[in-house]
Amino acid sequence: MTTLLQWQGKDAVLNVNGKITIQTAHTLLATVKELAEKTRHLVVNLGDVDYMDTSGMGVLVTGLKLFKSKGSDFALSGVNERVRAVMELSGLVGLFRIYPNDHVALTQA
């Protein structure tokens, strides 16, 4: 898994690429926690995620809770069919605001 952080003014877009698994989730979680201290609006783009297990879902739920506890905004964009299937099976898809792309996510905040 790799990540690429892009700033749109004070808003952050975190592009995630590859597999989010128990072996990589801790790295993603550390990045999300760090960003919670730096921005009030984070969009996590999952369009290039090939696979995500329940550890990845745990990171997303933790990120959502962390940002909400700070009165900040956490959204997902570019969620592909593979990732959406995991989210739907987990019953957690309804927790997240999911947008088709980063631009829409940033303008809807």
Residue range 10-22, pLDDT digits in tens: 999 999 999 999 9
Determine the pLDDT at residue 90: 87
Which residue is listed with tokens 């550890």?
A: 55
- Looking at the DSSP bridge assignments, the partners of residue 73 are 41
The CATH number for 2-107, chosen from 3.30.1370.100, 3.30.750.24, 1.10.3720.10, 1.10.10.10, is 3.30.750.24
Could you report the per-residue pLDDT of 42-79, keeping only the tens digit for each? 999 999 999 999 999 999 999 999 999 999 999 999 99
Sign of CA dihedral 25, 28, 36, 60: negative
Q: What is the pLDDT of residues 20-43, one digit of tens each?
A: 999 999 999 999 999 999 999 999
Helices (H), the chain: 25-36, 54-69, 81-90, 102-107
What pLDDT shows up at residue 42?
98
Residue the block writes with tokens 């999952």? 46
pTM of the model: 0.95
Q: What is the pLDDT of residues 88-104, one digit of tens each?
A: 988 989 999 999 999 99
* Domain-wise residue ranges, the chain: 2-107
Measured CA to CA, the distance from residue 24 to residue 28 in angstroms comes to 7
Q: How far apart are CA 33 and CA 36, in angstroms?
A: 5
CA distance 105 to 25: 23
Which of 58, 61, 55 lies closest to 21 in space, CA to CA?
55
Residue 109 has pLDDT above 70, yes or no: no
